[in-house]
Amino acid sequence: MNGKSVSDIRDLSPEDIKSFLITHDEKSFRGKQVFEWLWKKQCTSFDEMTDIPKACRELLKSNFTFHQAIQAKIRKSRDGTVKIGFILHDGSIVEGVLIPSGLRFTACVSSQVGCPLGCVFCATGKLGFMRNLSAGEIFDQAVYLKKLASERTNSPAGLSNIVYMGMGEPMLNYENVKKSVEMIASADGMGMSSQRITISSLGIPKMIRQMADDELKCHFALSLHATANEKRNRLVPFNLRHPLEDIKEALKYYYIKTGKRFTIEYILFKDINDSIADARELAAFCKNFPVKVNLLEYNEVEGTGLFRSGPEKLQAFADFLEKKNMVVNIRKSRGKDIDAACGQLAGMVSSEIAKKRN
């Protein structure tokens, strides 16, 4: 590799690959072939590119590398949830989760190593922020989880949905998240229906508008959790920078621009945001646009001082919203026996690796 710094070939656009090859006296059509190997055929080394002449493969090898996300740890829950710790080229760990949904699975992928936003209920928030994932590293998680879902269901269609709801705030890594969504949804990539991809975010007004302007082909879900700034500030300190009024305006823009309904995610915390008065406020917030509400059972994280609401409270909350003619789903907490709260497995695997190194 001549001692020079080597970049991941999957960071390049099709045009970049083509112009690199042309500059090195290769045929321009090789660019399309190489791009296909990277995203559609999901190769993991240059040697797999069997229809590319050896000299061209050597040229690529000496100028680029693959930064692949590789499974480092797998934990299986009694309820069918599977949690994977992926190790990245620099030794960082991120999590991906496969969650049973009916006869198929939903895959949850990470977009950052750690997270800078420090939501008080979140295990990832406690890890701090290390770095953004590349589009390739996000894509690898989706590819791996799709394969696992197919194996577990004995069907190539074992994966029903992909949600960007793992470690990190996707909107803070927008360009790479966007590229990974495009590669997951494109016929030149994984070929999954864009209807089945959801980006879940705390809501950064500027980025919500950007997503609408870009006509990004996926669903959007806002992790709301509270409808009054004072309460949300306590759960999501990032709200101090982007209060709910600003988020609401951005959501209106998103709806006007895309015409798409989005999802509101709301974790119920015992005695914090789970009263009927809270449900009434949530209904008022949602009047501004057509939405679907997912009420999430909290996956408790030690040391947060926060607890999941009881099933009766959760049901009463849902009933209240339904009486207001809202579309409501209850999402039970999954993988309780394998520490399935986002960030717990990554924290554990990172400490195991650190112990082995010492």
143 touches 190 (CB < 8 A): yes
- Catalytic, 95? Answer yes
In degrees, to the nearest 5, what angle opens at C-alpha 214 toward C-alphas 208 and 216? 80
DSSP H or E stretch at residue 348: helix 344-357
- Torsion angle defined by CA atoms of residues 146, 119, 314 and 347, in that order, rounded to the nearest 10 degrees: 50
Stretch that binds ligand SF4, among 46-54, 147-155, 163-171, 246-254 (CB under 6 A): 163-171
Closer Cβ to ligand SF4, 100 or 114, answer by number? 114
Least separation in angstroms between residue 114's CB and ligand SF4 is 8
Interface with ligand SF4 includes 237 (CB under 6 A)? Answer: no
In degrees, to the nearest 5, what angle opens at C-alpha 215 toward C-alphas 211 and 218? 80
Find the binder of ligand SF4 among 158, 168, 335, 347 (CB under 6 A): 168
Closer Cβ to ligand SF4, 142 or 326, answer by number? 142
- State the catalytic residue, choosing from 26, 95, 137, 265: 95
Cα separation, 84 vs 149, whole angstroms: 12
Closer Cβ to ligand SF4, 115 or 251, answer by number? 115
Structure tokens at 102: 């009916």
Stretch that binds ligand SF4, among 142-150, 162-170, 208-216, 297-305 (CB under 6 A): 162-170
Closer Cβ to ligand SF4, 115 or 143, answer by number? 115
Residues 272-331 that bind ligand SF4 (CB under 6 A): none
* CA 317 vs CA 142, 272, 284, 310: distances in Å: 33, 13, 14, 11
Find the binder of ligand SF4 among 8, 33, 101, 118 (CB under 6 A): 118
Interface with ligand SF4 includes 247 (CB under 6 A)? Answer: no
165 touches 201 (CB < 8 A): no
Closer Cβ to ligand SF4, 56 or 268, answer by number? 268
Residue with tokens 């791009």: 35
Closer Cβ to ligand SF4, 117 or 286, answer by number? 117
Reduce the DSSP state of residue 53 to 3 states and report it.
coil
Least separation in angstroms between residue 174's CB and ligand SF4 is 14
* CA 322 vs CA 182, 279, 329: distances in Å: 35, 10, 10
Among candidates 173, 176, 210, 216, which has minimal Cα distance to 198? 216
Residues 13-52 that bind ligand SF4 (CB under 6 A): none
Reduce the DSSP state of residue 105 to 3 states and report it.
strand
Interface with ligand SF4 includes 119 (CB under 6 A)? Answer: yes
- Catalytic, 48? Answer no
Site pattern 335..354 for ligand SF4 (x: CB under 6 A) = -------x------------
Find the binder of ligand SF4 among 169, 274, 278, 339 (CB under 6 A): 169
Cα separation, 274 vs 235, whole angstroms: 13
DSSP H or E stretch at residue 95: strand 93-101
Residues 59-98 that bind ligand SF4 (CB under 6 A): none
Please list the active-site residues: 95, 342
- Residues lying near ligand SF4 in the complex (CB under 6 A): 115, 117-119, 122, 124-125, 167-169, 202, 342
